[in-house]
Amino acid sequence: MASEIVNPGNELVDAGIDPAFALHRGGKMAVAATVPLRDTDDLSLAYTPGVARVCDAIAEQPDLVHEYTWKSQVVAVVTDGSAVLGLGDIGPEASLPVMEGKAILFKQFGGVDAVPIALDCRDPDELVETVARLAPSFGGVNLEDISAPRCFEIERKLQERLNIPVFHDDQHGTAVVTLAALRNAARLTGRLLGDLRVVISGAGAAGVAIAKILLGAGVGDVVVCDRKGIVEQGRADLTDVKRELAGLTNRDGLTGSLADALDGADVFVGVSGGTVPESAVAKMAPGAFIFAMANPDPEIHPEVAARYASVVATGRSDYPNQINNVLAFPGIFSGALSVRATRITEGMKLAAAEALAAVVADELTPSRVIPSPFDERVAPAVAAAVAQAAREEGVARA
């Protein structure tokens, strides 16, 4: 039966053996006009000769492009297909269903138009140059599923070149939602962020961003682990990114394995995959928080985590407290675009996390420290907070 499922042209697929293929046939999105084309008068306004007057006006006053085109409400969703979901390096064509999915999430949850762009280039400078040349068409760039450590360089170089927000969702979207959940877990249990020691399993894109945003929010200590153990300054095998991370984290200079880091830890954040032995989980502090976010298999199974933790979160939709990026990126871009922000700052991310947490701050239970993606309050609350933070930080142009 495997060949029948893999082949999307097989009639057995269309008959419903795998409904995913039926849903994806022809793609998941299309372009729709927002103005009528009923007759020659409409055509003369939407296209020639009417369009020429608008083009001339924009040529004379470039900022008018935001008012008379869709630029200020559209985002480029850019990937090279090198780190797709849990699939890894599958290439640009195979990544397109995910990028289409991301685009419809932008529209559904944030009212933001998005265009999937899968690029056949792996050299960071080539990718940066390509996106920079495409940028005049867009109000923002959402980088997606680009492997670490290249993703850090690509995001930095693009933001240096462009005067529009550049946001790597695998890093910052995950970080914002994680911080929001942690804030509410602390509120629920009467703790302060400054008293917590957080252990992060995974030093890739998400792990690095989570560590930085938690420290920026005032978390007491963060210890990050990769496949070789605790990321600490005595290791000679660290990349530049990990070396910087080692200088920011691990206040007590711990060494050793993930199990060593978990001894007495208050919080586990998993963005790595693999399995954490129950014996290591049992050594965490009483009433710990466990956010095991690997998909489809959490690093610590929720049933195991529940034996030791007061709050458990995963990346899955079939368990409570799903840490899902869709809670962040639609509202973040909606807010940034609404004020024509030139970038998304650390302050804007922190504001997004606080606003997201506040949505359910009066409704907290161990099974509800983060809103549902279908909670209609989420995107407007995040967007308003991000727009206000952009104004306060001087990166808003409208």
Instruction: State the Cα–Cα distance between residues 135 and 164, nearest whole angstrom.
Output: 8
* Residue 375 annotated as part of some ligand binding site: no
- Count of CB atoms within 10 A of residue 44's CB? 12
Instruction: State the Cα–Cα distance between residues 48 and 53, nearest whole angstrom.
Output: 9
Give the HSE-up count for residue 348: Cα atoms under 13 Å, Cβ half-sphere. Answer: 32
Tokens of 269: 């954040």
**Of 28, 71, 102, 242, which is the active-site residue?**
102
* Residue 145 annotated as part of some ligand binding site: yes
Tokens of 35: 């103005």
**Of 47, 68, 107, 228, which is the active-site residue?**
47
* Residue 252 annotated as part of some ligand binding site: no
* Residue 170 annotated as part of some ligand binding site: yes
- Cβ neighbors of 107 (< 8 A, separation 6 or more) are 29, 113, 114
Residue closest to 391 by CA, chosen among 355, 339, 344, 328? 339
Helix ranges (DSSP H) in the chain = 2-6, 11-12, 19-24, 40-46, 50-60, 65-68, 91-110, 124-134, 150-161, 169-189, 205-216, 240-248, 258-262, 278-281, 302-305, 329-338, 346-359, 378-392
Task: Please give the span between the terminal C-alpha atoms of the chain, in angstroms, as a whole number.
Answer: 56
**For this structure, is 157 an active site residue?**
no
142 contacts 102 by C-beta, under 8 angstroms: yes
* Residue 142 annotated as part of some ligand binding site: no
**For this structure, is 28 an active site residue?**
no
Instruction: State the Cα–Cα distance between residues 323 and 346, nearest whole angstrom.
Output: 20
Binding residues: 144-145, 170, 295, 324
Binding residues for (S)-malate: 295, 324
Could you give the residue numbers annotated as active site? 47, 102
